[in-house]
Amino acid sequence: MNENLFASFITPTMMGLPIVILIIMFPNILFPTPNRLINNRLISLQQWLIQLVLKQMMMMHNSKGRTWSLMLISLIMFIGSTNLLGLLPHSFTPTTQLSMNLGMAIPLWAGAVITGFRHKTKASLAHFLPQGTPIPLIPMLIIIETISLFIQPMALAVRLTANITAGHLLMHLIGGATLVLTSISPPTAMITFIILILLTVLEFAVALIQAYVFTLLVSLYLHDNT
C-alpha cells in the first residue's frame, strides 16, 4: 500500500533509457499479416472486424475521404490494442500520456484541416462566420470559431487521456481497498472484489469504445473538410 498511486503512469526505463518506443511497437505483433491462401480462424475474425469497422466509418466519406481508410483503421487498431494491453497487471499504457495523445491528434487534425482549406477553401472559411450574422458580432464570432477549431485536437487528446487514466486509478484504488479489507472484513472484501471484477469488464469496454470514439471524431473532422 506504500506504492505511489501514479507509479504505473511513469514512463518505464531500462538502463536509464526510455523503452516507451518498444512498448508502442509491441501491439504490431498481435496483428500478423496473412500469408496463406486459407487463413485460420483468428486472422479471419480479425479481417472480418476490420472490414466491418472500416465499412461503417467510410460510409459517409467521398472518394477523397476514403483515401484515409488505411490511416484510420491503423489508428483504431493501435489505440484499441494499446488500451487493452494496458489493462494487464504491471503494464504501462502509452495512451495515459497526454503528450502521446497530442502527438496523434494534432497531425491528424491538421491534415484534415489543411485538406479542407486546399480543396474546399470557401466552405472552410465559411465555418468561421455563419450566414446572417449581425455586423457587430462578426469579430467576436470569428474569434470564437477560431478558438473552437484549435481546441479540437486538445479535446481529442484530453478525452482519451482522462478516460483511460481515470479507469486505471479507480481499479488501483478498489484493488488496494480489497487487499486491506481481506484481513479486516472478508465479506466486505468479497463485495469489493466483485465490484473490481465488474469494473475490469467495464474498462475492457471503455478501452475499445475510446479507440472507436477517437477514430470516429477524426473521421468526422475529415468528413467536414472533404
* pLDDT at residue 98 in the model: 86
Q: What is the pLDDT of residue 224?
A: 80
Specify the residue for cell string 446572417. Answer: 132
pLDDT of residue 47: 79
pLDDT at 183: 83
Q: From residue 195, give the alpha-carbon distance in Å to each of 163, 185, 188, 191, 199.
A: 18, 16, 11, 6, 6
Phi, psi of 14 (to 5 degrees): -135, 120
Question: Any idea which residue has 468479497 for its cell?
Answer: 190
* The pLDDT value given to residue 106: 92
Q: What is the pLDDT of residue 20?
A: 67
**Could you give the CA distance from residue 201 to residue 29 in angstroms, rounded to a whole number?**
24
pLDDT of residue 5: 64
For residue 59, give the C-alpha cell: 460510409
Q: What's the pTM value of the predicted model, to 2 decimals?
A: 0.79
Mean pLDDT, consecutive 10-residue segments, the chain of 226 residues?
60 65 71 70 78 81 81 86 83 83 90 85 76 77 85 90 88 85 85 90 90 89 82
Dump pLDDT digits (tens) for 117-133. Answer: 888 777 777 777 777 77
Nearest to 92 by CA among 160, 163, 11, 173: 11
Q: Output the pLDDT for position 168.
A: 85
pLDDT for 174 equals 87
* Residue 110 CB neighbour total at 10 angstroms: 11
pLDDT value for 42 = 73
Q: In the structure grid, which three cell numbers stand for residue 104, read together?
A: 496523434
* Residue 90 Rama label (left phi>0; alpha psi -120 to 50; beta): left
